[in-house]
Amino acid sequence: MNDSVRRSIRATQIGMVINAALAAIKLIAGIVGSSYALVADAIESGADVFASLIVWGGLALASQPADDDHPYGHGKAEALAAAVVSIMLLAAAAGIAIQAVREIRTPHLNPAPWTLVVLVAVMAIKWTLARRVHAVAAETSSTAVKADAAHHLSDAITSAAAFIGISIALLGSRFKGGPGWESADDWAALVASAVIAFNGVSMLRAAVHDLMDRMPGADVVEPVRRAAEQVPGVLAIEKLHVRKVGMGYQVTVHVQTAPTTPLDEAHALGGRVKHAVCSQVPNVSYVLVHMEPYDGA
């Protein structure tokens, strides 16, 4: 297990422990303080715990070396875990939205003012956690860890929405004289569900791209091309295919050289191209070089 995988798993484990604690605190505070937005926030944190478990398992499986049954490795498990986490986000958003609509249509008490203190603490913790996990995801190029960071950010957003909703409910009842503002808390939960759904769709799209072997952007492809073209003896790059597998990239490149090049020299040139790409481009884990005669085109 390499350092990137260890860092990703460590970030996931820390997030899982924090989410479990926050989910319990928010659930108790939401029930006692009569705030469905806080209960919805607790549901989101609970989903985060299961999401982190899935990410953890996906990363552990993706780090396993290639074998006879999986000659290209197990890296797709990482993208699959990201897809499952994204679907969980969408399911959580749907559940929160349905319950929020029910609460809007049902008269209930105003949330307790002290629930705002809980939400401020939660927002600070989750925002910090989301930033740190996203930083690890950016450094390791892990789609699954990015999905986990999106979960943490969604939790911070639902907490912010709950804070706004509870504040409106309390201020409206105090300054507008009497009941009628209690549903602001539930409208906040409904808005938060839309934000969660948006994040879920965004992360699911990225995971599906990885599973479908979509070519990465020019920021990855062009450095690979330049590294191959700079090797002495390479006259042209005829084809270049790059796909993301786990936290690394696999490259297939068709290299053209002089038609009179002996087979052994062409084989050695292919090895130099492979070495150049792996040494100059971070996160490239596999390079397949196909040698062709240069046709002058």
Please provide the size of the chain in residues.
297
115-149 burial: b if 16+ Cβ within 10 Å, else e: bbebbeebbebbbebbeebbebbeebbbbbbbbbb
pLDDT of residue 191: 82
Of 10 and 280, the one with more pLDDT: 280
Question: How confident is the prediction for the chain on average, in pLDDT?
Answer: 82
Do 92 and 47 touch, CB atoms closer than 8 A? yes
Is residue 180 scored above 60 in pLDDT? no
- Name the band, by pLDDT with cuts 50, 70 and 90, for residue 227: very high
Residue 91 is predicted with a pLDDT of: 85
Q: What would the mean pLDDT of 88-105 be, rounded to a whole number? A: 82
Reply yes or no on whether the pLDDT at 77 is more than 90. no
Do the domains 218-293 and 3-211 match in fold? no
Cα dist. 50→55, 84, 209, 282 in Å?
9, 10, 23, 31
Residue 14 banded pLDDT, cuts 50, 70, 90? confident
Fold entry, domain 218-293? Alpha-Beta Plaits (3.30.70)
CA 54 to centroid of chain Cα atoms: 12
Nearest to 245 by CA among 89, 66, 48, 84: 66
For residues 199 and 154, the answer to whether their CB atoms sit within 8 Å is: yes
Question: Mean pLDDT throughout 232-237?
Answer: 93
| Range picked from 48-62, 68-82, 234-248 for highest mean pLDDT | 234-248
Report the run of H or E that residue 286 belongs to, with start and end: strand 284-293
- pTM of this prediction? 0.70
Predicted pLDDT of residue 268: 95
DSSP secondary structure string, 215-277? ---HHHHHHHHHHHHTSTT--EEEEEEEEEETTEEEEEEEEEE-TT--HHHHHHHHHHHHHHH
User: How far, in Å, CA of 263 to CA of 269, rounded?
Assistant: 10
pLDDT: is 257 or 196 the higher one? 257
Say if CB 74 and CB 246 are below 8 A apart. Answer: yes
Least confident range of 31-45, 52-66, 209-223, 282-296: 31-45
DSSP 110: P
Mean pLDDT in residue range 89-99: 83
Homologous superfamily, domain 3-211:
Cation efflux protein transmembrane domain (1.20.1510.10)
- Taking a C-beta distance cutoff of 8 angstroms, is the pair 15, 129 a contact? yes
**Distance (Å, rounded) from C-alpha 208 to C-alpha 18?**
28
What is the reported pLDDT for 206?
84
* Domain chopping of the chain, boundaries: 3-211, 218-293
